[in-house]
Structures are given as structure tokens and as C-alpha cells.
Amino acid sequence: MTKNQTKKIREQLEAKLAEVSGNGGRRDELITEWSNDPMDQIQSRADLDLTVRFVNTDFQTKRQVQTAMALLENGEYGICQECGEEINPKRLEAIPWTTVCVSCQEELDEVGGDSDFRRAA
């Protein structure tokens, strides 16, 4: 990987990190007001659930980006952390913070590897 490619990838990762780190304002949406109206309570709960999912997704993506940045610094970027094979460059172009190849990602999805922070789309 050339210095220009490394620099471009680092910039993409830093931009994504800034994007997901800047969404901390979503946590303010976790505070809800109590209502006596059952329909308002249902809507409030649905809004809260959605916000929690967004916060969780941002947190997971942030960890994935940080991992990808560390791999970039160590010279291991673009190597699948599951099987050790090269990750397709088109996949890395689409999702620069991914650390697994398509095959391993499919396997992780099948076994429900949601909690594995190395996953990425």
C-alpha cells in the first residue's frame, strides 16, 4: 500500500470517527417526559428504542473505526481478522472500517455475531 493510499484511508477513517463521535447529542434524546396518555407513552417508548439503537450503532462503528485505524498503523489493514486472507479492495473502498472479508462476514451473520466488534456491514 502506497503512502498516498494509506493517507486517503486514514482520512476516511478519521472522517467517519468524527461523524460517529459527533453524534453524542443523541444521548440527550434518551431523556423523555412522562405522559398519562397511553398513545403518547407508546410513541415515547418507540422513539426511545430507536434512539438506543442509533447510539449503539454509533458506538459499535466507532470501535470498528478505531480498530481499523490501529490495523492501518500496524500494517495489517486489509487483512481479514478471521481467516487471514486479503479483504477485497472494493469492500474496503465501500466500508473502510471493515476488518473481515465477505465470506467471514456472512459466517458471522449466520451465527449472530452481533456483539463482535470486528464486524462491519
Q: What is the pLDDT of residues 48-72, one digit of tens each?
A: 888 888 888 888 999 999 999 999 9
Distance CA 54, CA 60 (A): 10
Q: What is the pLDDT of residues 14-37, one digit of tens each?
A: 999 998 887 555 655 566 667 777
Q: Is residue 80 classed as helix, strand or coil in its secondary structure?
A: coil
Distance CA 101, CA 116 (A): 14
Cell of residue 52, nine digits: 438506543
pTM: 0.72
Q: Which fold has domain 3-110?
A: Four Helix Bundle (Hemerythrin (Met), subunit A) (1.20.120)
Q: What is the pLDDT of residue 117?
A: 46
